[in-house]
Amino acid sequence: MNRVQVVVVGAGVIGFSTAVCVAESLPSCSVTLVAEKFSPDTTSDGAAGILFAAEFPDIPLQRQRRWFKDSFDHLLSIAQSAEAPRAGVMLSSGCQVFKEVPAVRRPFWSDLVIGFREMSEREMRRFPERTFGQAFTTLKCECASYLPWLHSRFLKAGGTVEQRRVSSLDELAGFDLIVNCSGLGSKTLANDTAVYSVRGQVLKVHAPWIQLELDEGDTVGILERCKKLEPSLENAKVLSQWVGLRPSRKNPRLEKDSVRVKGKKVPVVHNYGHSGWGVTLAWGCAVDALGLVKQSIREISPKAKL
């Protein structure tokens, strides 16, 4: 029986995570990843990569918890392995502080990270302009290292890559199944008007006396706000700056679909629109997408060995 030809569109953290999951779990498939840009030129490369999340309004909370847990467990296993330095994955402790007490004091992921707790009154004295805080240990994933690591893992699993721009799904004629992880590109490829861009900016400073990742607003605003929270950053040296457009949506799109490619009906699995939480949810969403890929293959090739 001929191998099922699967193409994954997009080489960010969502695309490569999904491609690795499919290639490793379905050796009966031939998996190709196609993208115009690869690391270090993707949006994912600039992500702060700290695992925590916001709640999407229209996706069942249990599904969001599963995405977070699968991602956290996957990255934790890497952080505790010899691969950690090469993959750029590490444990990171820190806190979130708020001007006002949030409506939900314990987010849905609070029991999935390590040692989540509300900060004490004594601890909050350090932040006089804030009234509430949460402390926990989570994971940090440096995509500048993690994406090349995933790339190598994908090739080791038998995957192939093609660097080219895909302007229309008609250009993917010949593949049996399409996995769309094109982020902002889905506005065109999937005719999805619900996709929009959100500007993100990240600063990294040399402050060996404190573990702090700066990720809000423009450069001056980031530094000023963070100095108010942590005055010792006054003379910290800026090591790097990044700005980019995050592919956003009210809710991520992770579902089956089908399209006509040069007259032929081809199944599609969409996996995009994770806003600022792409790194946090990438592996969990990739596992979910893998399940949809398996369903789609059974529909087009019932005798396929999965």
- Confirm whether residue 221 is marked as ligand binding: no
Is the Cα torsion angle 10, 15, 20, 21 positive or negative in sign? negative
**Was 246 annotated as part of a binding site?**
yes
The DSSP-derived string for 88-123 is TEEEEEEEEEESS--S-SS-TTTTTSEEEEEPPHHH
276 is in an annotated binding site: yes
Strands 177-180 and 89-98 come out as: unpaired
Beta bridge partners of 260: 265
166 labeled part of a ligand binding site? yes
Closest CA to 160 of 2, 7, 3: 7
31 is in an annotated binding site: no
Bind-site residues: 43-44, 166, 246, 276
Q: Which residues are annotated as a binding site for FAD?
A: 43-44, 166
As annotated, the binding site for D-dopa includes 246, 276
